[in-house]
Amino acid sequence: MELLINVINDTSQDLFYIKLPFFLMKKWKKNYELANYYANEGQKKEEKLIRIGTRNSPLALRQAQILVESINQLGRQLGRDMACDIVPIITEGDKKLETALSEIGGKGLFTRELDNMLINGEIDCAIHSMKDLETSLNPALYIGAVLARDDIRDCLISPLYKNINKIPTGAAFGTASLRRAAQVKLLRPDLDIKLIRGNIQTRIQKCHDGLVAGTMLALAGLNRMAMQADADQIFNPGEIIPAVAQGALAVVAPKHNQAMAEILPLINHQPTQMATQCERLFLHHLDGSCKTPIGGYATLHGDNITLYGFLSRPDLSKQARAEKSGHSKDWQAIATALAQELKDLVQ
């Protein structure tokens, strides 16, 4: 018994026919399938895991998972296997919770270890709350993608009083943010600001334990942790101007990693990138650090961008708010002009 089969000539790509006995046909088919199987397995092994560095807090891990979901969705669209591995670490900033960041090194304490791992090739990228990133990165690194922004607003956690105006005179209000402290003082100059640091759950628990009458958190973090019900009062940006880049997630990568250079632009959210780069330049011009109360956010409307800013003296003796608008292509000039205006107002 004989079967007719088609074979592709690898050199000429011409189609020709050969005749094989049935038993040889079965053996050829089996070897062909095995060769295909091992070839496919080899391709899978060549697909390297994308190693994502992150802090070890519950919120940071959830944010890393959001990045994984974005990369996996891209992989499905491209028909590629983009497997990810989350690499959590405890940063120096996570260890020193009893001291204000302004006294022990600022925002860099949350990123330094991850930066070193990126440069040394131990991870491929790192996910950060963008508001925790310093405005100047290590020269070997860059922001490869900014994910779609969540809610920019701050919210009050006060299980007993529910509203900042109902907190008793002289009560303790907990925060480690000079920006929040300055603006709370504008709303309630009679409250006593106390330093509290830690993850979302830790700070909420301090309110429930009565250590402070209230605290303030970014609503974006509660949203990501499905803890929106813990927000007792949500402040619009006209009441409490948020931190620069609040609600945005930044993916930092080493410049030498070609795979990340190809993947990250495909998950970048352009409107969020435009708004946050304007905000970060504004912060940079103000020499923003954890020692200066600064807030800012940008909104996009068609081709126009509006940047809102807040600046206070460190001793809270003088504060100012202002805004600038213009065409989005002029975002750098807008950020620079607003920073200078606020400097002049608080001098």
| Burial letters 241-275, b for 16+ CB under 10 A, else e | bbbbbbbbbbbbbbeebeebeebbeebbbeebbbb
β-partners of residue 254 are 141
Q: Which residues contact 136 (CB under 8 A, 6 or more apart)?
A: 284
Q: How many CB atoms lie within 10 A of CB 303?
A: 9
User: Phi then psi for 244, rounded to 5 degrees?
Assistant: -55, 130
193 DSSP β-pair partners: 173
Cβ proximity of 276 and 312 under 8 Å: no
Q: Considering 115, 124, 132, 151, which one is annotated as catalytic? A: 132
Q: For the packed helices 270-285 and 331-346, what is the interaxial angle rounded to 10 degrees?
A: 40
Structure tokens at 142: 């860059």
Q: What do you get for the CA distance between the two ends of the chain, in Å?
A: 98
Where are the alpha helices (H) located in 149-265, listed in sequence order?
178-187, 200-208, 219-224, 258-263
Measured distance CA(94)–CA(206) in Å, rounded? 17
Per the annotation, the verdict on 81 as an active-site residue is no
Instruction: Check residue 224 and report its DSSP letter.
Output: H
Alpha carbons 157 and 324: distance in angstroms, whole number: 31
**Among 347, 330, 234, 215, residue whose Cα is nearest residue 286:** 347
The token duo for 168 is: 């008793």
Active site residues: 132
